[in-house]
Amino acid sequence: MIRIKVEIADKDIVQAIEVTGHADYAEHGQDIVCAAVSSQVISIENSLYQLLHIPVKTKVNESQGGYLKIELPEIESKQVSHDAQLLMKHLIFALEVTAEAYPEYIQIKQVKL
């Protein structure tokens, strides 16, 4: 199962998203659930970095896979912070939609910091 932890700071600010595990929906390379989650998270990570120029803190397990965490640094610009939150909340929404379609393979929980 893929477990997604959304870390929420004060004022409902999304601070980080951590993804662990494997869906085991299908064989490696054929698993559409893993592919959907991975592509969504990586797409937002790239958008934060490439479009908003935010030095996102990213941790991955390169050897075994099954672990990815993106964490936002402190952002001084109100506009950039707003845009970053919009992207992070979009990611959460997309992951929730995927979890609704595949509830036995994805679990999402939000943690207040």
Residues marked as catalytic: 22, 34
Which residues are paired to 5 by β-bridges? Answer: 18, 109
Burial zone of 91 (CB within 10 Å; 0-12 exposed, 13-18 middle, 19+ buried): buried
Give, to the nearest 10 degrees, the angle between helix 78-101 and helix 32-50: 180
Longest Cα separation, the chain: 44
